[in-house]
């Protein structure tokens, strides 16, 4: 490959890719980052917390069907990841609880991403934006780099000992969402950058990589239905995190999930219901304690109901449960049925009984008027299914044993699959940890050979 050959070629300049490239550059390695967007950072620029579970045991509890090797690697590598961020002069604020089971740090992700890019450039390495990847270069089954298309339309071949796929998943492609997530997912809202359209997935599979795990799901949140998410500021402002303390009804007027398990899990469940939409109902207590309050320590609280109303969502205030019988017909919900189900829920909770579905946490009745109603729909942030990897970020092949690496190929971030299966314990943390794992492999791993 001549003068173009580098230790690590990174395809995708988000959290995983920039972390890997900066680490390699900081230790004297050679690296090229190619990013198809006009700016690096990807969806990480919209996030602000690096977090995961505080122990492997807790990870297994909340993510029982995920790859145990990857889960252990994430938890064990988290502290070193945070130390790496701090070593660059980027502040990680003191740890706080997240989602009730996690722990992590608020981070200025824009500062971190920009610092990584600056470090790479300062070490004389390249970061190319507006540059797409046409194909991987392979020799005798070994990935040896990639052919890329520069902004002016010209091609450039990069030889590399290791190639890292870190393009951010496939949530930006409605057809891939429908194929690999759920048919309803084609029309799901996107609370992420629009450029992650499965490039890494396609490149990896052409090199013989596997795809999985099956029915892995996705990470997302409930958002007000019918409201545009074109403005990234809405990704957090309008997210209906408080659903964990409310009741959610589908278009048949029935509850279908234990909302207290987590808004991110309720989001996956709603996608599979008729029309993939539902009514989220809260009372005055939930409005006071959760809708208007801070979701995570350090983030100021805002009245999400008012934000949704001003954004044009279907939102209403009912002075009593009987008001549900007057729900507008065009909304398409059986208001009387929803009223009855709320009354049944309140009676069961008040008597200390069980509900269907169950209610593990926040076993308070929904009986303090007024009632706050917002129509909700699922929106996706990133996909869980991807190219399976091992703890060193090697992409695994589609061969019979499913554990043989594709020589020369690495993956991290949302391009990598296997860590989560219909569960979630942080997005930035896996991108960071496995990005740094890819860097270690590129710096210290045995040069790839056929079957090695």
pLDDT of res. 371 = 98
Q: What is the 3-state secondary structure (H, E, C) of the chain?
A: CHHHCEEEEEECCCHHHHHHHHHHHHCCCCEEEEECCCCCCHHHHHCCEEEECCCHHHHHHHCCCCCHHHHHHHHHHHHHHHHHHHHCCCCECCCEEECCCEEEEEECHHHHHHHHHHHHHHCCCEEEECCEEEEEEEECCEEEEEEEECCCCCEEEEEEEEEEECCCCCCCCHHHHHHHCCHHHHHCEECCCCCCCCHHHHHHHHCCECCECCCCCEEEEEEECCCCCCCCCHHHHCCCHHHHHCEEECCCCCCCCCHHHCHHHHHHHHHCCHHHCEEEEECHHHHHHHHCCCCCCCCCCCCHHHHHHHCCCCEEEECCHHHHHHCCHHHCCCHHHHHHHHHHHHHHHHCCCCCCCCCCCCCCCCCCCCEEEEEEEEEEEEECCEEEECCCCEEEECCCCCCCEEEEEEECHHHEECCCCCCCCCCHHHHHHHHHHHHHHHHHCCCCCCCC
* Interval 373-401 mean pLDDT: 94
For residue 2, the model assigns a pLDDT of: 41
pTM passes above 0.75: yes
pLDDT of residue 403: 83
- Map out the domains of the chain with their CATH numbers: 2-215+384-444 (3.50.50.60), 220-380 (3.90.700.10)
Instruction: Give the pLDDT confidence score for residue 341 in this predicted structure.
Output: 97
What is residue 452's predicted lDDT score, i.e. its pLDDT?
41
- Above 70 in pLDDT, residue 449? no
Flag whether pLDDT at 1 surpasses 50: no
Per-residue pLDDT, averaged over 204-225, amounts to: 94
Per-residue pLDDT reduced to its tens digit, 91-136: 999 999 988 899 999 999 999 999 999 999 999 999 999 999 999 9
Tell me the average pLDDT across 30-42. Answer: 97
* Average pLDDT for 232-242: 91
């Amino acid at each position: 490959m001549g003068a173009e050959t580098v230790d690590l070629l990174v395809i995708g300049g988000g959290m995983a890719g920039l972390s890997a490239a900066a680490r390699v550059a900081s230790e004297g390695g050679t690296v090229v980052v190619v990013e198809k967007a006009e700016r690096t950072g990807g969806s990480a620029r919209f996030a602000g917390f690096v977090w995961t579970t505080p122990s492997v045991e807790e990870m297994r509890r909340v993510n029982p069907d995920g790859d145990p090797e990857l889960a252990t690697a994430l938890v064990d590598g988290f502290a070193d990841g945070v130390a790496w961020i701090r070593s660059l002069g980027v502040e990680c604020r003191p740890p706080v609880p997240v989602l009730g089971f996690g722990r992590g740090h608020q981070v200025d992700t824009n500062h971190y991403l920009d610092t990584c890019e600056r470090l790479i450039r300062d070490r004389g390495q390249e970061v190319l934006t507006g540059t797409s990847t046409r194909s991987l270069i392979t020799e005798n089954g070994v990935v040896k780099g990639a052919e890329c298309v520069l902004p002016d339309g010209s091609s450039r071949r990069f030889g590399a000992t290791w190639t890292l796929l870190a393009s951010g998943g496939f949530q930006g492609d409605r057809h891939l969402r429908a194929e690999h997530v759920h048919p309803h997912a084609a029309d799901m809202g996107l609370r992420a950058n629009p450029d992650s359209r499965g490039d890494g997935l396609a490149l990896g599979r052409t090199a013989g990589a596997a795809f999985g795990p099956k029915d892995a799901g996705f990470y997302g949140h409930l958002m007000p239905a019918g409201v545009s998410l074109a403005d990234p500021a809405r990704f957090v402002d309008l997210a209906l995190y408080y659903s964990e303390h409310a009741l959610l009804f589908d278009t048949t007027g029935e509850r279908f999930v234990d909302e207290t398990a987590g808004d991110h899990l309720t989001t996956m469940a709603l996608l599979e219901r008729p029309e993939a939409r539902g009514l989220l109902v809260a009372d005055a207590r939930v409005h006071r304690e959760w809708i208007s309050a801070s979701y995570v320590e350090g983030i100021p609280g805002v009245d999400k109901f008012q934000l949704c109303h001003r954004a044009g969502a279907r939102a209403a205030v009912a002075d009593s449960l009987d008001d549900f019988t007057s729900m507008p017909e065009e909304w398409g919900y059986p208001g009387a049925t929803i009223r009855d189900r709320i009354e049944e829920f309140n009676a069961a909770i008040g008597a200390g009984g069980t509900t269907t579905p169950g209610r593990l946490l926040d076993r308070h009745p929904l009986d303090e008027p007024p009632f706050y109603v917002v129509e909700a729909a699922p929106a996706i942030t990133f996909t869980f299914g991807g190219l399976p990897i091992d703890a060193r970020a090697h992409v695994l092949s589609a061969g019979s044993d499913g554990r043989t690496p594709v020589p020369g190929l690495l993956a991290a971030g949302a391009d990598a699959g296997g860590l989560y299966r219909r569960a979630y314990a942080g997005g930035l943390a896996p991108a960071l940890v496995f990005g740094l794992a890819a860097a270690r492999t590129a710096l210290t791993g045995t040069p790839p050979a056929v079957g090695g």
